[in-house]
Structure 1
Amino acid sequence: MAATNIPQDILKDLYAEWDSLMAENPAMSMRMLRSLFDEWHQPTSEPENVTYKEDAVGGVSGIWCLPAGADHSRVLLYTHGGGFAVSSASSHRKLAGHVAKALGVTAFVLDYRRAPEHPHPAQVEDGVAAFEGLVASGVSPDRITTIGDSAGGNLAIAIPLALKEKGGPLPESVIAFSPWLDMENLGQTLSTNNDTDALITPELLEGMIAGVLGESVDPKTPLANPLYADVTGFPRIYINAGSVESLVDNATRFADQATQAGVDVTLSIAENQQHVFPIAAGHSDVADEEIVRISKWYASA
């Protein structure tokens, strides 16, 4: 049951507050932006019977989420959202903990290198290094799932694509929450959902794109923009998004693309939900029910 003392629109309210603060302070420093977005954990309850451990895997720092009784041979490799520039393992550990607990596995949340100090492909490289580090430690590739939200959802997809380019083993599956894939900033729902999305605007995305791609990376580069990738042979994937968010067509477009390539795709669009709606886990029945659906999908392999 969702806690009764939590506002019904806790996620929407947080996003609206962020949007207001950024509008009032257009010259906000990157340090302040990162402090702001590290509040992303606020809508998430602390999952019970989950402990955490700071560590490094494949040379990449992060946080282990260790549910009691979890199968330690199975790992969710979690990449956080935040436009490749903000948020952290700390801001997303609780969400990863909820999902890991529901699936009965462990999760490692990456503190990958962030833009603009480290432009593309640094984030993908860190994800690949962590994946390969897990394999080197004895975790079978077919027991790893790449998972992430927003920009981290992009990385959850890009990491297997990069592994495929290298000719290496791929993860068993992929989970993407509200993936942000369109580095050309051309999605139709950027316009149609502009009035209902409490956070995302084309202008916000333009700044994030400039930070991660700079002037030298083509926005059609497949590892930056998986909408241009050849996804033949891609692992099975679960994709979700909120119906009122501006990036919903990133999810639907990739789902169509993957389906046409013969990939096993499950798409979930939650009515009247905001960007990365599962992050309200423990405080939202919709988020909790979505995580249950994911656990059933995961167990069906």
Structure 2
Amino acid sequence: MVATPEPQARVDAVVERVRQVYGKWRRNTSAEQMRADWDELFWNDSQPCDFEDTELGSVPVRVIAAPGVNTQRACLYFHGGGYKMGSVVSHHDLMVRISAAADCQVVGVNYRLNPEHRFPAPLEDGMAVYRALLAAGHAGQNLALAGDSAGGGIAASLLLSIRDQTLPQPCGAVLLSAWLDMSLSGDSYASCAKSDPIHQKFMLQAIAGQYLGEGVDPAQPGVSPLFGDLQNLPPVLLQVAEGEVGRDDSVAFAEKLQASGGQAELSVWSDMIHVFQQFADDLPEARQAIAQIGEFLQAQWGPGAAQ
């Protein structure tokens, strides 16, 4: 019988796989090549599902349904990748697992990417998909938002926009290692520099500059929802690794949402890495986190969503 690797060894093996991909990239590596490498790194189709690549609101999406789920419920998912990489391919496995755990279909949004498209293109795409779902008859109480890293920032910003435009609000949101402060003001950007094996502040500053371009304040709520008005928002679950540089984005957002009268559930995972949920085949903690996502969303779904 083969012994199960110790937790740190499992995490180290995952980190090494990521570093091997990052290590191949040079200054002249094209965005297309980086995106292909990223999709290959994370692609996994081990979980059963039905899926369709289509469009909603003229935005490409992948609609995923694990076996037997309630397809009257839909969770919009915004992938991470620094606004430059990531897709419904790289995040296919995570979306399937969320679909199964939360008893809903997941709509993965292939929003426009940098450098071809800068801010606010991803937010416009997210709003177009949300409006299309409402127009198709989905009730807000049976819609949810979710995203990781940069995609978590999109999901959080979209929460604010939906409220400000007085649209039917989703029943809740799930933010995984979400990038909620593009000004990088949190203490963890310095204090966790040695414990984060993947990201560093200078890297994120470069990514933010490329995405925002000149003249866009990185602290404005449209790109840093942490600094927005968080009143009258639906419940939010935030999951983050204790040692990642962006940890304080999630901590501060949860505290501010609670102070604004909202419901925020903050789950901080020790010994994990940025968006560890993408490695569910390797990390039992990732599977536990996805189960928590499922429990949270199933507690939020509204009535009247019979299959």
1:47–1:132: structure 2 CA closer, same or farther, 3 Å change rule?
farther
Aligned residues: 295
Q: Is the 8 A contact 2:254 2:266 kept in 1?
A: yes
Q: Which of 7, 10, 14 is equivalent to 1:8? A: 10
**Partner residue in 2 for 1:188:** 187
Residue aligning to 2:20: 17
Q: Taking structure 1 as the reference length, what is the TM-score of the superposition?
A: 0.93
- Following superposition, the deviation at residue 5 of structure 1 comes to 9.1
Does the aligned pair in 1 maintain the 2:47–2:96 contact within 8 Å?
Answer: no
Question: Structure 2: how far apart are the matches of 1:129 and 1:102?
Answer: 26
Q: Which residue of 1 aligns with 2:36?
A: 35
- Asked if residue 81 in structure 1 is aligned to residue 77 in structure 2, the reply is no
- Listed as ranges, the matches of 1:249-288 within 5 Å are 249-288=248-287
Amino acid in structure 1 at the alignment position of 2:195: T
| Kept after mapping to 2: 8 A contact 1:19/1:198 | no
In 2, are the aligned partners of 1:148 and 1:154 still within 8 Å (CA)?
yes
1:300 match: secondary structure: helix
- Cα contact 1:47–1:97 (8 A) shared by 2: no
Cα distance, 1:47 vs structure 2? 4.6
Amino acid at match of 2:211: V
Q: Deviations over 1:173-231 (max 9, x none)?
A: 00000001111123221222112212111222122111211002111221110111001
| TM-score normalised by length of structure 2 | 0.91
Structure 2 unpaired stretches of 5+: 301-307
User: Once the two structures are aligned, what percentage of the paired residues are identical?
Assistant: 26
Spell out, residue by residue over 1:130-163, the C-alpha distance to the aligned partner (whole angstroms, 9 max, x if none): 0111111111111111000000000111111111
Report what 1:177 is aligned to: 176
Q: Return the offset for 1:120.
A: 0.9
1:165 Cα deviation from its structure 2 partner: 1.9
Structure 1 residue 28, shift from structure 2 partner: 2.5
Measured in 2, the distance between the counterparts of 1:138 and 1:159 equals 19
Establish whether residue 122 from structure 1 lines up as the match of residue 121 from structure 2.
yes
CA contact (8 A) 2:21 2:41 kept: no
CA distance in 1 between partners of 2:20 and 2:100 (Å):
30
Task: After TM superposition, give the deviation of residue 4 of structure 1 in Å.
Answer: 5.8
Separation in 1 of the partners of 2:102 and 2:173?
Answer: 13
Determine if contact 1:124/1:162 at 8 Å carries over to the other structure.
Answer: no
Select between 158-167 and 122-131 the one with higher mean Cα deviation.
Answer: 158-167
For residue 50 of structure 2, what is the amino acid of its counterpart? T
